[in-house]
Chain A
Amino acid sequence: MLLTDENELDLTHYIIFAVIKLAILLWLLLTAVAYIVLMERKVIARMQNRWGPTRVGPFGLLQPLADGIKFILKEDLVPDSVYKPLYIAAPMIALILSLISISIIPFGGNWNLGGYNIPLQMTAFWTGAGIQDINIGLLIILGITSIGVYGVALSGWSSNSKYSLLGSLRASAQLISYELALGLSLVGVLILSGSLSLRQIVDSQAGSILNWHFFGGFQFVAFFIYIMAAYAETNRIPFDLPEAETELVAGYHTEYSAMKFAMFFMAEYCNMVTVGCLATLLFFGGWHSPFDGLNIPAPGIWLMISPLFWFFIKVFFFIFLYIWIRGTLPRFRYDQLMSFGWKFLLPLAIANIVVTSLVLALKS
């Protein structure tokens, strides 16, 4: 199963590298989440013609640190009538599930450091002939999204308050409705790349910018559906009615304070990062540079770093898109939201599947 070039069992190396990758990824992800919060506040502030946080540190750069310290030191109020086990477990479920998805995402090809072949993905190892990653990576991410509904549903019910219950029921209904459109919009990409493994989907887009599923694969409709469904899945404007302050006090996290509230917060931004990563992997060529077809000479060190660079640029753009839309659009009313998901996105996704498979069948 785990074989090197010399046909040896490489289990210890795999475990050591996986632990190192885990430490680096976790640190990177949590720091990114903290700074995405700052970026959101600054960008929305600029759109509204004001500064954002500027006091703490130069340009407000230490604001996440101050927020973190505030959350840790705040009093953790637990109301008397809550159902304690689920009240404490629900934010944990939300945060854990949103952190798991990063382990399946590939960031690049293979790094050959000192004789060891290290794939830039946590759940992948190097066999003699290439990188072997999870065969069903895309399904695992969909599964994690499905289970993530429990964090929301259980938190609202266990808080024993009418605002929380209403908010969580609305949020859960929204989440399971848009999961369908989300899954179906990805089927077009599946048909084009022929595999559920994220690495192979990116490999099928190699070559030039015209091979990317969004451009050459003509999956722009699927991308549009995916972005909308993903915005609904992450509870972001224009689909954030369940946690809108003016509508339901604060929805399913009304009764939470301090660290538990911070966990819901972090889970939402982690989900944003996952959505951005998936969008780049499935529609925009992953870690491939848009200048791939033109053979520009590059030094060896740039060839090693360029996958990471392009991947992060693209994910950064998607997160900026999230924040941009938040600063621009009003939110949907609940019945508009549900009819949009069921009566528009779902038929459109099915139509996309039909057209994609027709075109592919006629071409071959």
Chain B
Amino acid sequence: MFHLVLFIIFAVICVAGALNFLLQRHPVNSALSLIVVMGSLALLFLLLGAEFVAAVQVIVYAGAVMVLFVFVIMLLNAGVEEKTRGNKVALALGVPGLIAFFILICWTVSSARSQLGRVSIGDFYVPTQQLGIALFREFLLPFEVTSVLVLIAIMGAVVLARRERQ
């Protein structure tokens, strides 16, 4: 019961942040809403008991990646999004289509309700030490491949940002 209340609160904050992210016209407001989404995702992780993942989500995603987003918006001085004239056909087809899609998803999930498990607070708690051991023993290959991927991204960024040699 307690878990359900907490989950609903944080999930509502998350979805509200995501909707605000789409509906805001100024990029900085969108970036801040995305930070709220990241924070509430970290809280949802914490509710499941994955404390390390929650902390790292805050440190890396909300604290570094989003800072760079905000940097770019500030540097490029991105202004307010201009309002364009909407497309009436898209509105007439899109909104009922979206509602139908949403109803389809809800119906599919609720008809398989009996096969879905239950989870309570702190079910997936793993001491950080075990997480580290698993990461460097069973999941060593994905870890190394991911780090090579990140290295390639860094090299690409350095090449793109290099000053042109005249």
Contacts and interface: CB of A to CB of B under 8 A. Distances in A.
Contact of B56 (A139, A154, A165, A172): A139
A179 B67 CA distance: 13
B63 A169 contact: no
B94 interface: no
A153 B28 CA distance: 11
Given A135-B128, A139-B55, A139-B56, A154 B70 contact: yes
B52 A136 contact: yes
Contacts of B87: none
Interface string A136-156: 100110110111011001101
Interface of A: 83, 86, 135-136, 139-140, 142-143, 145-147, 149-150, 153-154, 156-157, 165, 168-169, 172-173, 176, 179, 183, 194-196
A165 B28 CA distance: 14
B56 A150 contact: no
Chain B, interface size category, equals: 20 to 34
Given A146-B64, A153-B70, 9 more contacts: A83-B28, A135-B51, A143-B58, A146-B58, A147-B62, A149-B67, A154-B70, A176-B67, A196-B128
Contacts of B58: 143, 146-147
Q: In the complex, which of the residues A135, A140, A146, A179 has the most CB atoms of chain B within 10 Å of its own CB atom?
A: A146
7 closest A-B pairs by CB: A146-B63, A139-B55, A143-B58, A157-B74, A143-B59, A136-B51, A136-B55
22 contacts: A86-B28, A136-B52, A136-B128, A139-B56, A142-B55, A142-B59, A143-B58, A143-B59, A143-B63, A145-B63, A146-B62, A146-B64, A149-B63, A150-B67, A153-B70, A157-B70, A169-B74, A172-B67, A176-B67, A176-B68, A179-B63, A179-B64
A179 B62 CA distance: 14
Interface of B: 28, 35, 51-52, 55-56, 58-59, 62-64, 67-68, 70-71, 74-75, 127-129
A196 B128 CA distance: 8
B128 A153 contact: no
Contacts of A140: 55
B16 to A, nearest CB: 17
B63 A153 contact: no
